[in-house]
Amino acid sequence: MKMLKTKKGKIIFACVLAGLLIAAGVILAVVLHKEEYRSISVEAVSGSVTVVNDNNNDQAYKGQRLYGGDDVTVSENSDLTMCMNNDKYLYAAENTHFRLEDRSTKNASRIRIILDKGSELNELTEKLNTNESYEVDTPNSTMSVRGTKFRVTVFTGSDGLVYTLLEVEEGVVLVQLKTVTGEYNGVEKEFTKGQSALIRADIDFSEFVKSEKGEEVLELDYSALPKEPVERLLVLLKMLIPGEEDKKPQEEEKKPQDEDKKPQDDNGESGKEHEHTKGPLEITTEAGCETKGEKTAKCTECGEIMQTEEIDPLGHEFSDWTIEKETSCKEEGSESRKCSRCGKTESRVVSATGNHKWGKLKEDVAPGCLTKGSGHYECTICGAEGERETIAAKGHNYSAWTTQKKATCEESGTEIRKCSSCGNTETRSITRLSHNWSGYKTVKQATCAAAGSQERTCSLCGKKETKSVPATGNHSFGSLITDVPAGCTTDGYGHYECSVCGAEGEQETIPKTGHDYKEKSKEKIDDEHYKVTYRCENCGSEYSATKAGKI
């Protein structure tokens, strides 16, 4: 704390704090970068380009980030270059309007350009992977690509139809046709390098405009066509669709303003000159729907006309086209509209669409479980038969599995199922059960010399299993059995026997017993001595001893 009160301490603290802030900023940038796997930005902008979204409605600028849902308008004499994911570029020309759709994650990207007016060039510098898609959607078609360079131009003709011009410079573009109400009609076609297509549609149909040779693929001679894409489209309309006029109004040559005139007297001679004072412009001739009007400004003193301006024709205020006769796939229809200002009416023929309204697939050959069927489409208007289509085999409609043979502990079982459509059957094995054994019980007790046995039983099938119990090997020996009795002077021996199995055990020495002498007789030797004879009770051996005394 004392250090912070010093000048040096404050400087050190400030440096440490700055370092921590920078580190935090780097960490935050890394975290944010991990979330922003994909990026869309303005690469270049010229003139007036407006970007509108929920939070913004301003002029676009270089480096600006764009997001799905952004609405972009490129004004006259302006253009925009947009970069997507660092490998996709969009160049929007003047008088172009589109909306951006973007769904991007770390491993996938779906970009969709919804173009309803003007012209834009798409350039993909890298081939799309399997998780990426890039589409340009116009009011009458959708273009799907996989790495290419192509231009799309959208224009509404004076016939009220929406036209789309596709020009492929590199790669492949798949075109799917749809009405201006967004209903796809199932028509699609691929266009490759150097090929072009002109598409037209209204609320009822969408089709490729064919060349004089009846081809849907147009080979354009760019050396004979205007450079600007919208003007190029207009020239194609005049070439392929007679009577189609350029909707852009032609500029009329302006009449030169009347030069100041000097006032004249009754004799036609110039009067006295004065400085003219010009009054306000006032309408002298009202403009009509098709005729020009005029405004003039006069000198407030002499009334001389000092300025004349033309008023452009107001143009008709036509109502919406009203259907007079409905079109069909075979017959032309008609429409009319009326100007609310001058009452002029216009009528136009609506060409037979040529697009049948196909109903549901009609089954000719019903599909089987394993065999394909077939059917065809019919026009709901004229009954014309359309394309035939293969109907995929429907596969078996099997019942639930039914047990045919139960599984046991010893054998596998089987179960079966049957198709309700064709009667085909399928059989499969049921895994055999496992024995549910009880614990082992002694059937025969093991002895010292003989093995015993134990038995267990399966509670499911009753099967029994027996196993041997080894002999214990532990004899039960009794008392010593004498084989040779011990003598008075000699040892004897004997052995042991198992009382259970009779097995003979170890031999054992029986110690000699010694003599068991008993007095046998006495005999007088003389008056002072006598002889005593002794005999062993066991072995009968004798010995004599002389003793003093009388018998």
Full 3-state SS string of 118-150? EEEEEEECCCCCCCEEEEEEECCEEEEECCCEE
State the burial class of residue 96 (Cβ atoms within 10 Å of its Cβ: 0-12, 13-18, 19+): buried
pLDDT tens figures, 501-543: 888 888 999 999 888 889 888 888 888 888 889 999 888 888 8
Tell me, what's the pLDDT at 43? Answer: 93
C-alpha distances in angstroms, 165 versus 52, 236, 402?
Answer: 26, 9, 63
Residue 455 pLDDT grade (very low, low, confident, very high; cuts 50, 70, 90):
very high
Tell me, what's the pLDDT at 243? Answer: 57
Tell me, what's the pLDDT at 223? Answer: 80
Does residue 256 have a pLDDT over 60?
Answer: no
For residue 450 the two structure tokens come to 């003989």
Tell me, what's the pLDDT at 473? Answer: 81
3-state secondary structure of 282: strand
Question: pTM for the full model?
Answer: 0.42
- The helix (run of H) or strand (run of E) holding residue 206 is strand 206-208
Tell me, what's the pLDDT at 209? Answer: 93
Does residue 267 have a pLDDT over 60?
Answer: no
- CA-CA distance, 523 to 167, in Å (whole number)? 166
Does residue 476 have a pLDDT over 90?
Answer: no
3-state secondary structure of 262: coil
Bridge-based pairing state of the strands 109-124 and 132-138: parallel
pLDDT tens figures, 380-414: 888 888 899 999 999 999 999 999 999 999 899 99
pLDDT tens figures, 38-64: 589 999 999 999 999 877 778 999 999
Mean confidence (pLDDT) of the chain = 84
pLDDT tens figures, 295-325: 999 998 888 888 898 999 989 999 999 998 8
For residue 544 the two structure tokens come to 């004599």
- CA-CA distance, 24 to 159, in Å (whole number)? 62
248 DSSP assignment? S
